[in-house]
Amino acid sequence: MEIALVTGDITRRNVQAVVNAANSSLLGGGGVDGAIHRAAGPELLEACRKLREETYPGGLPVGEAVATEGFGLPARWVIHTVGPNARAGQTDPELLRAAFANSLQTAVSLGASSVAFPAISAGVYGWDARDVAEIGLRTVREHPGNGIETVEFVLFSDPVAQVFRTVLADLDSRD
Ligand code: AR6
């Protein structure tokens, strides 16, 4: 499995599945969630509403993941996950690991060969980008590929991309 670090907008990525850093309501929000909903169009919100009503009436729990179609996105699927919110005291690394791992597992179940992740929890949810990079990159490196050929981390800003490059180089040097 190849890991690529990309600076840019995840909604433009030509991959089979993009991961959305959503919230438990599944009904959209700001940040990457807002960007994905804008780019995918209103059908995405409809699909999320349906999931919420039929499968997650109490909301999608932190660390879990669920897929919809990608609608207007180049990606065929959106995998919605909920990262932990440090500003609400959710600082257990296991919760962030679960968000990455369950998103990957969902991609495997879909048969996706390429997946793009944002820096889950590194925005509104207040996690340090370095912790997100360490947990995200470690989780992906340890995950059995199972058909996934490429995992991209799509970082919205140069400073965050630089953090990911440094952490990946550190992990590689320890192999
Ligand atoms: N492409 C890639 N990354 C992006 C994009 C984009 N188009 N837009 C923002 N980012 P955040 P969270 C980066 O806040 O911390 C939402 O309201 C951003 O710079 O989107 O998990 C949800 O509905 C940051 O590095 O997600 C939830 O309520 C990273 O994506 C809450 O925010 C994550 O920032 C989730 O907070």
Which of 150, 142, 30 minimizes the C-alpha distance to 20?
Answer: 30
- Check pLDDT > 90 for residue 96: yes
Backbone angles phi and psi of 99, in degrees to 5: -60, -45
Query: How confident is the model over 11-64, as pLDDT tens digits?
Result: 999 999 999 999 999 999 999 999 999 999 999 999 999 999 999 999 999 999
- Ligand 1: residues within 6 Å at CB? 9-11, 21-23, 29-33, 35, 83, 118-125, 154, 156-157, 160
Q: Is 172 a catalytic residue?
A: no
pLDDT recorded at residue 41: 98
What percentage of the chain reaches a pLDDT higher than 70? 100
* Cα gap 168→67, rounded to integer Å: 27
Overall pTM surpassing 0.80 (yes/no): yes
User: How many Å lie between the centroid of ligand 1 and the Cα of residue 19?
Assistant: 11
User: How many Å lie between the centroid of ligand 1 and the Cα of residue 30?
Assistant: 7
ipTM above 0.90, yes or no: yes
The residue assigned the tokens 């879990």 is 64
Give me the mean pLDDT over the 155-171 stretch: 98
Minimum-distance ligand 1 atom for the alpha carbon of 28: 23
User: How many Å lie between the centroid of ligand 1 and the Cα of residue 29?
Assistant: 9
Sign of CA dihedral 5, 7, 9, 15: negative
Domains of the chain by start residue, with CATH:
2-174 (3.40.220.10)
- Report how far apart, in Å, the C-alpha atoms of 11 and of each of 32, 59, 114 are: 8, 24, 14
- The residues, ordered by sequence, that sit 6+ positions from 74 with a Cβ below 8 Å of its Cβ are 12, 13, 14, 15
* Cα gap 57→135, rounded to integer Å: 29
User: How many Å lie between the centroid of ligand 1 and the Cα of residue 50?
Assistant: 23
Which amino acid residue places its CA nearest to atom 3 of ligand 1? 156
Q: Residue 117: helix, strand or coil by DSSP?
A: strand
* Cα gap 35→30, rounded to integer Å: 7
H or E segment to which residue 172 belongs? helix 158-173
- Choose the residue to mutate in 6, 27, 48, 156 for probing ligand 1, maximizing ligand atoms within 8 Å of C-beta: 156
